[in-house]
Amino acid sequence: MIESLQHLPPAAGSNGELAAQFTDLAPPLTARQAALEAARCLYCYDAPCMNACPTGIDVAGFIRNIQDQNIDGAAYGILKANIFGGSCARVCPTEILCEQSCVRNNPTEREPVRIGLLQRYAIDNARFDGHPFARAPSTGRTIAVVGAGPAGLSCAHRLAMLGNDVVVYEAREKAGGLNEYGIARYKLPGDFAQQEVDFLMAIGGIHIEYGRRLGENLSLADLHTRFDAVFLGIGLAASRALGLTGEDAPGLVAAIDYIAALRQASDLSRLPVPRRAIVIGAGNTAVDMAVQIKRLGAEDVTLVYRRGLESMSATGHEIEIAKANFVRIRTWAAPLEVLLDGEGRVAGMRFEQTRMEEGRLVRTGGYVEIAADAVFKAIGQGMCEDGLGDALVREGDRIRIDAHFRTAIPGIYAGGDCVAPGQDLTVQAVQHGKLAALAIHEDIQASTEAAWPT
């Protein structure tokens, strides 16, 4: 929630003027541009771009379909591997995945085939006659999915394709998870996230119950008893704390809370916007926060990280977006103290300068103060433990699973950001959900066959 920012003035400008700052980051390709770009593909055998895609999309295959003007065929091939192919085309870090592996990505040609934009072109221009995937005959089994984010909905869709019925339990008012609440508005503008959910749900056999949260009005033990299997796609919703005095002062909020409010705002001019802002973090969420608050009208935005630029988890592409939006990046500075004004509100932060010594990050004793009307922390998220119980084995603050997404409790599976091998990427969460669905279906079928009298 962003109540602690209500003392700040609203964004300057009308809703229309501000909305113009949150149109598509990359304009879509025209038909002519798509044809020319598709013609650059060499359709490699054992294509490295396909091997680099976490969901295993046949990249060369869908690009060839675009070249042949078979747009529906291209989209079908994408969605068969990744039902969230539309959003992933927009938010996936293709520059470090498929496009980085493209054979045209070399010093001579300088630029890989623009796979992400071609994928978007195929999805946006497909004209299916109904849902492209049919459900298998009913298995008579029903699976519970907790969390309607990319992992949970990917799992639900694949389970429905295989003939199972699925009940999805979602804590919030809308489905979509990170796509709906956590992605920069200029990456998924408008209601694209909900359109994608509606398309996915059109397969049938999936029911979503909203406002259901583990530990409050939803019991994992009860789900385990009532359903044939349970999949946990609960993500990482708890913002980590800085551990500093004054962290609860008005003006200091979690970046994910502000991003969610920004994405759900019907009138951007009503959002509180600081004149000077600090964003603490080094990942893509930190960049998303810094860029968006700048586009809302903040005059001075500083992104602060305790290590060097080369250690930032944000991709090079994201860092360039920050620079293009005049976000100042300050490295080698660790948060030390929240500075407050006479009314107990955030007035800035004091940082201690750091450096590397023999592979260890050390504090130098030098200090720097940065004035700010608001501080946004984007230092990572942890898992909400409420309602999970003690039987699930943890690995750090995530759920331990085996190679088939099984947890320590038989019949309960997990995937996405809440599990140990997660990479905190939407595309990885989609793949987890898909593979977990296949494992759940196989396990259920195996147990049915074992129970059948011979």
Domain residue ranges of the chain, discontinuous segments joined by +: 23-125, 142-237+384-451, 239-381
Distance between CA atoms of residues 429 and 418, nearest Å: 9
Looking at residue 453, what is its pLDDT?
56
Beta partners for 398? 395
Say whether 328 sits in a helix, a strand or coil.
strand
Distance between CA atoms of residues 62 and 42, nearest Å: 12
Looking at residue 240, what is its pLDDT?
86
Structural tokens at position 363: 């504090």
Residues near 442 by Cβ (< 8 Å), separated by ≥ 6?
A: none
Amino acid, res. 296: L
In angstroms, the Cα distances linking 46 to 98, 114, 428 are 13, 19, 21
Question: What CATH number has the domain spanning 23-125?
Answer: 1.10.1060.10
Structural tokens at position 346: 């955030």
Distance between CA atoms of residues 161 and 153, nearest Å: 12
CATH topology match: 142-237+384-451 vs 239-381: yes
Per-residue pLDDT in tens (0 to 9) along the chain, 454 residues: 588 999 999 999 999 999 999 998 888 999 999 999 999 999 998 899 999 999 999 999 999 999 999 999 999 999 999 999 999 999 999 999 999 999 998 888 879 999 999 999 999 999 999 899 999 999 999 999 999 999 999 999 999 999 999 999 999 999 999 999 999 999 999 899 999 999 999 999 999 999 999 989 999 999 999 999 999 999 888 788 898 988 899 999 999 999 999 999 999 999 999 999 999 999 999 999 999 999 999 999 999 999 999 999 999 999 999 999 999 999 999 999 999 999 999 999 999 999 999 889 999 999 999 999 999 999 988 777 677 877 788 887 789 999 999 999 999 999 999 996 656 789 999 999 999 999 999 999 987 766 555 5
* Angle (nearest 5°) at CA 439 between 433 and 443: 145
- Does 239-381 carry CATH code 3.50.50.60? yes
Q: Could you tell me the fold of the domain covering 142-237+384-451? A: FAD/NAD(P)-binding domain (3.50.50)
Looking at residue 1, what is its pLDDT?
54
Residues near 343 by Cβ (< 8 Å), separated by ≥ 6?
A: none
pTM of this prediction?
0.93
Looking at residue 250, what is its pLDDT?
96
Nearest CA among 231, 298, 286 for reference residue 254: 286
Nearest CA among 224, 168, 141, 226 for reference residue 441: 141
Looking at residue 395, what is its pLDDT?
81
Tell me 136's DSSP state: P
Structural tokens at position 36: 């020319």
Q: How many CA atoms lie within 13 A of 52 on its CB side?
A: 19
